[in-house]
Amino acid sequence: MPLYLQLASHYRQAIHKGALPPGARMPSVRGLMGLHQVSMSTALQACRWLEAKGLLEARARAGYFVRAHRTAGLPPAHEPSPTALIDEARYVGVHQKVSSVLAKALAQPVRVNLSGAQAAPELYPLERLRQSSQRVLRQHGACLVTPPPPGGEPSLRSALARLALEQQQLQLSPDEIVITHGCTESLTLALRAVTQPGDVVAVESPTYYGLLQILESLSLRALEIPTSPHTGISLPALQEAAALTPGLKAVAVVPHLQNPLGAVMPDAAKQALLAWCEQQDLALIEDDSYSALWDGPAPLRPIKSFDRNGRVILCGSLHKILAPGMRLGWMSGGRWQQRLEMLKYSQSRPNESLPQLAVADYFNAGHMPRHLRKMRAQLALQREQMAEALARYLPAESRLSVPGGGLNLWLELPEGVSSMALFEAALAQGIRLAPGAMFSNTMRFDAFLRINCGLPIDEQVRQAVQSLGQLLRGRN
């Protein structure tokens, strides 16, 4: 165990046993250095890890203090039955269902939006990004009148390769990276590279509705596979379903902080899934948009880091973690790399240079690690506060999955409650929700909601959760 984790574990036990009660002040960083004979870096890492776990809070010019204990929460959402196989679906009509929900939401004035999968603007480094953009314009103003290079700006591709190596144990050369217009384009390109219209793609169930829309737009069929809110896609269910489904060409998964569940696949499960895809000669498409928001002491390893034969197409994004307004994604295609580069050029041509150069400048200035630490700590606090509010105001029959990172919670409603009906009732009160029915082509998740924790939990948000509880009790 790294030294900072040994130190953090020591103080975590002290907090749990009450030796450091809520409100108690932690020893200062210099105090920790003297008490335990460790470096400043080790002491800081230990405090930040405890902060990310919700055990400490930093107070300006005062140091670290023990946080109040979390109140009793709701039980976790039910695990799916791995034997509950789901019939192959064509996704006919998914556009209409999703579009109907979005159109209704936009047509009503909203005071609280609990439906998104994004953080508040103040959680992103606006000033640093502005400075990087201005510096790039001064130094490389010709980028505004010069065609961007195919594949993306070399400086950004190099920065992403370094980030993958340092944070994810993933070795990529800059030439193996293609810059895209967000992860949506990456997923579209990946599916176009490995399938033909009419082919079948295995997906998690529930899954992000945007993936369902992509599948329908490409005339692909899908096989929804039961997925745990805690450990991800069920490999036994996938194996059984694949044996009964001709035409399966690819598997698409979000192994880290899956949208909407928040599930994280264990490394052993990632390796088993990769080995099975090798045996079946299937492409494995990995969406890794959220792993940087994981609270754990060690970074999450993408499936691609275990790939030795180019079987995995890795799709990443800076949209959720750094700059939503820049729409920057990236991908690495393994054995399909050349085809992806051709498809990217034919579909949308290279991305604009200015955002790429600005983000590369931001990375090279060394700002990213500190930004992510601050963002993870704030999101951890907001998830805890939202979970507490839901436990306080919702009926006890509700169930809740609280992941170890990310932007969302997966809420299971009391038996007999429809998320679509609740969406309509809440919208009439100015509260926007993301009904579970959006995350499948069927209505099998109509008893669930995805709750956004990216916004600060202020009094208005708490009142919205209280109203949600009142609506639920009125429907029981």
pLDDT in tens, 40-73: 999 999 998 888 777 888 887 788 988 876 555 7
Q: How would residue 85 be classed by pLDDT, with cut points 50, 70 and 90?
A: low
* All domains in the chain, ordered by first residue: 3-66 (1.10.10.10), 94-123+370-474 (3.90.1150.10), 126-368 (3.40.640.10)
Mean pLDDT of 115-138: 96
Whether the pLDDT of residue 93 is over 70: the answer is: no
Greatest alpha-carbon pair distance for the chain in Å reads 66
Of 182, 177, 127, nearest to 150 (Cα)? 177
With b for 16 or more beta-carbon neighbours within 10 A and e for fewer, the 111-148 pattern comes to ebbbbbbbbeeebbbeebbebbbeebeeebeebeeeeb
Mean pLDDT of the chain: 91
Provide CB contacts within 8 A for 53, sequence distance 6+: 12, 295, 380
**Long-range contacts of residues 85-88, Cβ cutoff 8 Å, at least 24 apart:** 85/226, 85/237, 85/240, 85/241, 85/244, 86/205, 86/223, 86/224, 86/225, 86/226, 86/241, 86/442, 86/444, 88/200, 88/221, 88/222, 88/223, 88/245
pLDDT confidence of 112, banded at 50, 70, 90?
very high
Closest by CA to 352, choosing from 120, 95, 156, 173, is 156
Average pLDDT over residues 215-242: 94
* HEC-encoded secondary structure of 158-177: HHHHHHHHHHHCCCCCHHHC
Q: pLDDT tens digit string along 205-215?
A: 999 999 999 99
Which amino acid is it at 119? A
- Confidence (pLDDT) at 380: 85
Place of tokens 């979390």: 70
Confidence (pTM): 0.86
Query: What pLDDT was estimated at residue 420?
Result: 95
The whole-number pLDDT of residue 55 equals: 85
Residue 71 is predicted with a pLDDT of: 52
Q: How many CB atoms lie within 10 A of CB 306?
A: 17
Query: At residue 284, does pLDDT exceed 80?
Result: yes
Instruction: Render pLDDT for 395-426 as a digit per residue (tens, 0 to 9).
Output: 999 999 889 899 999 999 999 999 999 999 99
